[in-house]
Amino acid sequence: MVLGIPNSLQRQALSLQGAYTHAGRMSDGFAELRSKTHLLSQAASKNQQSAQHAVSAAIGILEDMQVRIKALVGRVEQELHTLQTDINSHVGESISGLQGKLGGPEMSGVHDLTSAVGEMADCTARLLSSWQQNEEEYMATLAQVVIFNSWTSAWPEALRTVQGMQRGAAGPPPQYVPSPPTATTDTSDNSRTAQGSG
């Protein structure tokens, strides 16, 4: 205690000194909190940009895969068409050869055998046509399945990444609400009381 200064005033001075000390510490804490909040906001923005790049890359991969699948389907269709043409050509040559060998009038049942061979050729052509149609439908279905599997595996993962980045983004810093200045009022009243008593 300091001589000549009322004890109540000295106690209030000590209280004010503690309040100022705490206020300074809180100011430093809020400054550091603002700095950390800014850093966190920057990190969230970078993560969101990375997630958007990942989504764009996944979509690009899917589009490239779709182009490749279309090219593969076209190549398979061309090969099937060539195969059908070759088979029809071989069947026609075989029929012509059989007709030439069976064209003699001395052979019995030539017309019946020729008719049977013609029906066999027609049946073969119908089977080839049906097989080609089924093969094209199979390849189209396979391409759709590949695209769907790629889409369902890449797109949800990209969405989860973006949503995780958005949920992790920092909000505004908490606002500090000071308490009512009761201590200042009490200090003024006590100061006036001390002065009156002095």
pLDDT digits (tens, 9 = 90+) for 17-55: 677 677 777 777 777 888 788 788 777 777 777 777 777
Query: Which pLDDT value is given to residue 191?
Result: 46
Query: Which pLDDT value is given to residue 118?
Result: 77
Written in H, E and C, the secondary structure of 11-28 is HHHHHHHHHHHHHHHHHH
Burial of 74 (0-12, 13-18, 19+ CB in 10 A): exposed
Query: Which pLDDT value is given to residue 188?
Result: 47
- Give the span between the Cα atoms of 140 and 70, in whole angstroms: 9
Instruction: Detail the DSSP E strand segments found in 31-146.
Output: none
Structure token pair of residue 83: 């195969």
Residue 54 falls inside a structural domain = yes
Residue 11 falls inside a structural domain = no
Residue 140 falls inside a structural domain = yes
Q: Are 110 and 104 in contact (CB under 8 A)?
A: yes
Instruction: Tell me which residue range forms the domain holding 83.
Output: 50-167
The answer to whether the pTM exceeds 0.75 is no
| AA letter at 62 | L
Residue 172 falls inside a structural domain = no
- Give the span between the Cα atoms of 184 and 90, in whole angstroms: 110
Q: How many domains does the chain have?
A: 1
Residue 112 falls inside a structural domain = yes
Residue 29 falls inside a structural domain = no
Q: Which residues contact 186 (CB under 8 A, 6 or more apart)?
A: 12
Residue 128 falls inside a structural domain = yes
Residue 16 falls inside a structural domain = no
Q: Which residues of the chain have pLDDT under 70?
A: 1-17, 20, 99-113, 154-155, 158-160, 162-198
Query: Which pLDDT value is given to residue 74?
Result: 81
